[in-house]
Structure 1
Amino acid sequence: MTMRRSFAVSLLGGLLLAGCASKQDVGPVSAPTTPASAQEALRPYYASLAAKLPVAPPNPALADDTTLTRIAFGSCINENRAMAFWDVIAAQKPQAFLLIGDNVYGDTGATGAADIPTLSASYRKLSSRQEFDRFRRSVPMMTTWDDHDFGENDVGGSFAFKEWAEKAYESYWSSSAEVRGRPGVYESRIVGPEGKRVQFILLDTRFFRSDLVRMPYRDPGPSLGWYLPNVDPKATMLGDAQWQWLEGELTKPAELRFIISSTQVVTSAHNFEGWTNFPKERDRLYRLLADKGVNNALFLSGDRHAGGFYKADVPGLSRPVWDFTSSSLNFAFGRGNNADREPDPARTGGFWAIPNFGQIDIDWSAKKVTLSLRRDDGSVIEEQLVSPF
């Protein structure tokens, strides 16, 4: 019997026993309360667990006054596959690395147990990999999660075990007190002296997200995904608290901003996961950028097991908005350029389904940023030169 089932049986038994209390009992009998959600029902069980959660190797701090000229990022790491890419990225000498989702595949082989033992096992496996250990101890890192380290493929805020997944995430990545003190794993940081400040806004596109709308089943299935736009006015990508937080973050002074979303923002060319699933929420994001006059933001995204560059013209902004997708570090779903499979007017080049990482070089004197999608040997696949200042 899985923990999910055994816990449900235990909870039901408690409610039945409460309802069968003797009429001779002295004092009023309180009616049993029904948990408002699966998450609420599981909290007593989680509070009783004494499990020691895994912790990543120590990581050097990134000094607040660092003038950033090179950062790197990536997503989608299968902890059981080759990891030579870590040494390749380290050789590029990035000052920071952003790991932006599917940092392990912790849902592989999941049994439905509420403490998600496969997730803890995946974190431990990642820590055992020498290349990751070496990189983690030498390059400052920032992280957010996606579905496979959240707990289940394509799930969002209704995922029953999300609070334990959050606890495991915050334990492993040694999250800040600010992150630990609120639901979700979103956070922000500004690095650099005045005139060269870089803001990193790492969104949580899982913990609060509304359910996806799925197409009716058909055979053969659609080649570009099963999901339809969710147009429910109450549907959300970030949740109210994170939206309010994001608005506040965008008022902080910075010369350059990176908004990190685990799933793609700009493209609407597929029916897999992305902000395209919630068009009203994407419109809200664009309006927020325009209302705050944020012309200096670049989106970084992952999830797709392929990489590419995308841009969109947003009403109210004087420059195009770029979305740089890098995925996967070692788990690509192809052998080359899949552009013909997924035509996209928003994409500026190929759609590269080969192992890749993203590198970002900032030239403060020229006010230019070079975005380069790179193979796992460090060579350049494609580059884009942008002027977001």
Structure 2
Amino acid sequence: MERPLLFLGITFLFLQCQAPQKQSSDQLDTTQETGITIAFGSCSHQDSTAQMWKEIIADQPDFWLWGGDNIYGDTDDMTLLQEKYNKQKSHADYQQLIASTPIMGIWDDHDYGVNDGGKEFAKKDSSKALMLEFLSIDKDNPVWEREGTYQSYIQSKHGIDIQFILLDTRYFRDQLTKDPSGKKRYIANNNGDILGEAQWLWLEEKLKDQSVDINIIMSSIQVIPEEHGWEKWATLPQSRNRFFKLLETIQPKPVLILSGDRHIAEVSKIDLAKLNYPLYEFTSSGLTHTWRTPSEEANQYREGKLIIEKNYGLVHLHKNENNIKVELEVKGKQDTTFQVLTYQMPL
């Protein structure tokens, strides 16, 4: 989405994480301690001097997760897109993060190549290759062989088994419907899909895995919020409803959604009728830029504050015999903490 300037909107920038370097897929690595920290973020302009890699490194995350808009490409010139990725990846502080922390990630629209772009983008396969190379994803990872960029990784560290499920909300996404009144950018397209059938079936199989303690699902765009007029799952409500019904049917191990895109940070929570635990979403967006004018934005599902500051997210996980304690922390420049929310999920 475009950077909101005169629009009501706000959603949090939270967690950061990274896809395991030189890892094929679903690889398990076990140690025996307690506590994991996952860092994540989105919306990072490669030309900005306001990168927060030093702050992120100081938090010593176990994983870093890109939530999309990892660069601002906005081009169908793949040579230019490659140059922008190279500039981002060669940043000295980011290189230090790569050296110390496993990296995972997914794209959003600006690194995909076109603002609010979907399946119609002609260069999506060439763009996909550049994104996977930026993340240093090994060539024997199955993501190279299938359409789209969706991935999964099982990581076990400090006694906690996590399944990272990284969704592709671009490659298969149907056309959005513009608001003719101009009050919002988009209104609901009641027949459109986000994930595509192959990715839906893949997601269903991943959620059935009962061997993990928690599922961390990354969606570049927001899943739970409904009111704002920018791009979100609610602009394609058939997909949003299908996702919620999938959770209710499968009853997977605890799920936490991470998202970006919005140049704000916030936490959303929804109680699904047939899911036996509350569903949380942590939005962290605006690694290098955020809204210029503070404003309010309705979100009936918001927990805590709406944060309009450059930010990244930290997810702290602690496991005991019966549950996982989840701590969601919004952080910014110079070790600033904007908000911390804590809840527990049953094992």
Q: For residue 268 of structure 1, what is the amino acid of its counterpart? A: E
Residue by residue over 1:119-154, the C-alpha shift from the partner in whole angstroms, topping out at 9 and shown as x without a partner, is: 112112113321112212221110100000100000
* Runs of 5+ consecutive residues of structure 2 not aligned to the other structure: 1-19
Q: For residue 309 of structure 1, what is the amino acid of its counterpart? A: V
Q: CA deviation at 1:267?
A: 0.2
**Corresponding residue of 1:376:** 333
**Corresponding residue of 1:343:** 298
Q: Tell me if 1:134 matches 2:96.
A: yes
Q: What is the alpha-carbon distance in structure 1 between the residues aligned to residue 159 and residue 127 of structure 2?
A: 38
Q: For residue 189 of structure 1, what is the amino acid of its counterpart? A: Y
Residue by residue over 1:312-362, the C-alpha shift from the partner in whole angstroms, topping out at 9 and shown as x without a partner, is: 1112112211010000111112365x4xx2122111122212110110111
**Corresponding residue of 1:228:** 187
* Runs of 5+ consecutive residues of structure 1 not aligned to the other structure: 1-57
Question: 236, 259, 262: which is aligned to 1:304?
Answer: 262
Q: CA deviation at 1:276?
A: 0.9
**Corresponding residue of 1:46:** none
Q: Tell me if 1:275 matches 2:230.
A: no
Q: What SS does structure 2 have at the residue aligned with 1:192?
A: strand
- After TM superposition, the score normalised by the length of structure 2 is 0.86
Select the structure of larger CA radius of gyration.
1
**Corresponding residue of 1:72:** 39
TM alignment of 1:12-27, pairs within 5 A: none
TM alignment of 1:58-97, pairs within 5 A: 59=21, 64-66=29-31, 69-97=36-64
Instruction: Return the structure number with greater relative CO, CA threshold 8 A, min gap 6.
Output: 2
Indicate if the aligned counterparts of 1:77 and 1:329 stay in contact, CA closer than 8 A. Answer: yes
Runs of 4+ more than 6 Å apart: 60-63
Question: 239, 243, 249: which is aligned to 2:196?
Answer: 239
Q: Percent identity?
A: 34
Q: What SS does structure 1 have at the residue aligned with 2:44?
A: coil
Residue by residue over 1:151-204, the C-alpha shift from the partner in whole angstroms, topping out at 9 and shown as x without a partner, is: 000011111111111121122222242110111110111111797211110000
**Corresponding residue of 1:313:** 271
Q: Tell me if 1:212 matches 2:204.
A: no
Indicate if the aligned counterparts of 1:304 and 1:327 stay in contact, CA closer than 8 A. Answer: yes
User: Quick check: 118-127 or 242-251, which moved more?
Assistant: 118-127
Name the structure with the higher strand share: 2
Question: 262, 269, 281: which is aligned to 1:323?
Answer: 281
Question: 303, 312, 315: which is aligned to 1:357?
Answer: 312
User: Quick check: 67-76 or 235-244, which moved more?
Assistant: 67-76
Q: For residue 353 of structure 1, what is the amino acid of its counterpart? A: I
Question: 233, 244, 258: which is aligned to 1:286?
Answer: 244
**Corresponding residue of 1:41:** none
Aligned length: 317
**Corresponding residue of 1:33:** none
User: Quick check: 377-386 or 247-256, which moved more?
Assistant: 377-386
Residue by residue over 1:11-38, the C-alpha shift from the partner in whole angstroms, topping out at 9 and shown as x without a partner, is: xxxxxxxxxxxxxxxxxxxxxxxxxxxx
Q: What is the alpha-carbon distance in structure 2 between the residues aligned to residue 291 and residue 226 of structure 1?
A: 33
Indicate if the aligned counterparts of 2:38 and 2:64 stay in contact, CA closer than 8 A. Answer: yes
Q: For residue 56 of structure 2, what is the amino acid of its counterpart? A: I
Q: What is the alpha-carbon distance in structure 1 between the residues aligned to residue 135 and residue 203 of structure 2?
A: 22
Q: What SS does structure 2 have at the residue aligned with 1:348?
A: strand
Indicate if the aligned counterparts of 1:83 and 1:131 stay in contact, CA closer than 8 A. Answer: no
TM alignment of 1:13-52, pairs within 5 A: none
- After TM superposition, the score normalised by the length of structure 1 is 0.77
